[in-house]
Structure 1
Amino acid sequence: MKSPDWSRTSADYARHRQGFPPRFLDQLERDGLLAPGMAVLDLGTGTGTLARGLAARGATVLGLDPAAGQIAEARRLAAEEGLSDRARFEEGLAERTGQADGAFDLVIAGQCWHWFDRGLAAAEAWRVLKPGGALVICHYDWLPLPGSVAHATEWLIEAHNPRWRMGRGTGFYPAWAGDLSLAGFRDIGFAGFDHDALYSREDWRGRVRASAGVGGALGGDAVARFDAELATLLDQRFGQDPLVVPHRIFAIWGTRR
Structure 2
Amino acid sequence: MSTPYASAAPYYARYRPPYPAELYALLADRFALDGSRTVLDLGSGPGTLGLPLAALAEHVYAVDPEPAMLAEGCRLAEEHGLGNISWLRGDAAGIGRLCLPRIDLCVIGGAFHLMDPARVPADLDAVLAPRGGIAVVTSLAAAWPAVVDEVCARFLGGVDAPYDARDVQDVQGVGDLRDVEDRLAKSPFSRVETSTWERSTRYSVDQVVGLQFSRACSGPALSGDRKDAFEAELRRALLDHDPGGTYVRTVTVAATVATRPRR
Q: Is the 8 A contact 2:5 2:66 kept in 1?
A: no
What's the C-alpha RMSD, in Å, of the aligned pairs?
Answer: 2.6
CA distance in 2, matches of 1:105, 1:168: 30
Q: Which SS does the other structure have where 1:48 is aligned? A: coil
- Larger deviation, residues 63-72 vs 233-242: 233-242
Q: Normalising by the residue count of structure 1, what TM-score does the alignment of the two structures yield?
A: 0.84
Q: Counterpart of 1:91?
A: 89
Give me the whole-angstrom Cα distance separating, in 2, the residues matched to 1:219 and 1:4: 12
* Cα offset, 1:48, TM superposition: 1.1
Structure 1 residue 51: deviation in Å?
A: 0.5
Correspondence list, 1:129-144, <5 A: 129-144=128-143
Per-residue deviation, 1:183 = 2.3
Q: Please identify which structure carries the higher helix content.
A: 2
Cα distance in structure 1, aligned partners of 2:101 and 2:130? 7
Residue 125 of structure 1 corresponds to 124
Question: Is the contact made by 2:39 and 2:57 (CA closer than 8 Å) also made in structure 1?
Answer: no
1:157 to 152, 159, 169: 152
Q: Which amino acid aligns with 1:70?
A: M
Describe the SS at the equivalent of 1:199: strand
1:16: which partner in 2?
Answer: 15
Give aligned-pair identity as a percent: 25
Q: Distance in 1 between matches of 2:171 and 2:258?
A: 27
Q: Distance in 2 between matches of 1:25 and 1:7?
A: 28
* Structure 1 runs not aligned, ≥5 long: none
Correspondence list, 1:36-55, <5 A: 36=34, 37-55=36-54
Shift, 1:238, TM fit: 2.2
Within 5 Å, which residues of 2 pair with 1:96-115? 96-97=94-95, 98-100=97-99, 103-115=102-114
Are positions 1:236 and 2:240 aligned together? yes
Secondary structure at 1:18 match in 2 = coil
Asked if the contact 1:193/1:248 (under 8 Å) is kept, the reply is: yes
Match of 2:173 among 170, 174, 183: 170
Please identify, of 242-251 and 105-114, the stretch whose mean Cα deviation from structure 2 is larger: 242-251
Say if 1:253 and 1:6 are closer, same or farther in 2 by CA, change over 3 A. closer
Q: Please give the alpha-carbon distance, in whole angstroms, between the structure 2 residues aligned to 1:93 and 1:232.
A: 39
CA contact (8 A) 1:133 1:255 kept: yes
Name the residue aligned to 1:194.
198
CA contact (8 A) 1:4 1:220 kept: no
Partner SS state of residue 47, structure 1: coil
Q: For residues 109 and 58 of structure 1, what CA distance do their matches in structure 2 show?
A: 16
- Other-structure match for 1:182: 186
| Residue 93 of structure 2 is aligned to residue 77 of structure 1 | no
TM-score for both structures, normalised by structure 2: 0.83
- Three-state SS of the structure 2 residue aligned to 1:197 is strand
Q: CA deviation at 1:161?
A: 4.3
Distance 1:247 1:43, change over 3 A: same
Give 3-state SS (helix, strand or coil) of 2:92's partner: coil
What are the superposed Cα offsets for residues 112-168 of structure 1, whole Å, 9 maximum, x if unpaired? Answer: 111222222222222210112111111234321xxxx45542444345445777756
Q: Which moved more, 1:198-207 or 1:105-114?
A: 198-207
- Distance in 1 (alpha carbons) for counterparts of 2:103 and 2:115: 20
